Amino acid sequence: MAEIKVPVIFVIGGPGSGKGTQCEKIVQKYGFTHLSTGDLLREECNSGSERGTRLVDIMKKGQLVPNDEVLALLKEVIQKNLSNSNGFLIDGYPREAGQAVEFENQVCKCSFLLFFDVPDEVMKTRLMERGKTSGRADDNEETILKRLDTFHKHTQPILDHYGDKVKKVEASGTVDEIFSKVTQIIDNCKC
């Protein structure tokens, strides 16, 4: 892959922590390219491909899709946007420390990580509310609990791996309160 000279920001946090919501606002203000691994995987599922059919089952169980599938999708879309992007927001990646290592070996170093930290109860309430209309196969109580469990099992090693590169945002307030913390981080970042 060609050299990437723009910021690459990993956006992590539990299910319903507001990653997608904040990424939309970051895109409006900074013009970055938003790549959500969840959205890319759902597109693949909806395509009806053989690979998509396999992924549906994993996602319905709230488990992690194998990284070779996720990284292949990410590399493809980064390559496609490389010539006209101000920076990349990689939303929902890495989900485990091995994903971080593979990305940095195969693509580039990340500039920093935005980590949205939200209590489980708040995340669950948000997702149960969204589940009334989202149509997402994983927005039901059983799968939400599994997604939370997967998140807790895998996240600490990522935080340990990145140390000071992790910018933690307490993210249980309003969308605008959280966004104001996010802009301070991005504006102060030397990337």
- Chain residues in the site for ligand AP5 (CB under 6 A): 13, 15-21, 37-38, 41, 58-59, 62-65, 70, 92-93, 95, 99, 126, 130, 138, 147, 174-175, 178
Both structure tokens of 142: 């059983």
Token code pair at residue 12: 């992590």
**Residue 140 C-beta: closest distance to ligand AP5, Å:** 12
Give the CA angle between residues 102, 73, 61 to the nearest 5°: 85
Question: Which residue's beta carbon is nearest to the bound ligand AP5?
Answer: 38
Nearer to ligand AP5, 19 or 112 (CB): 19
Characterise 189 by phi-psi region: left (phi > 0), alpha (psi -120 to 50), beta (else): beta
How many angstroms separate the CA atoms of 148 and 57, rounded?
Answer: 17
Nearer to ligand AP5, 3 or 50 (CB): 50
Least distance in angstroms from the C-beta of 190 to ligand AP5: 27
Q: Which is nearer to ligand AP5, 78 or 83 (CB)?
A: 78
Neighbouring C-beta atoms of residue 2, cutoff 10 Å: 9
Closest listed residue to residue 144, CA positions, set 121, 178, 161: 121
Residue 14 sits at φ, ψ, to 5 deg, of: -65, 175
Nearest approach in angstroms of CB 63 to ligand AP5 is: 6
User: Which of 5, 132 has the CB closer to ligand AP5?
Assistant: 132
Shortest Cβ distance from residue 36 to ligand AP5 (Å)?
6
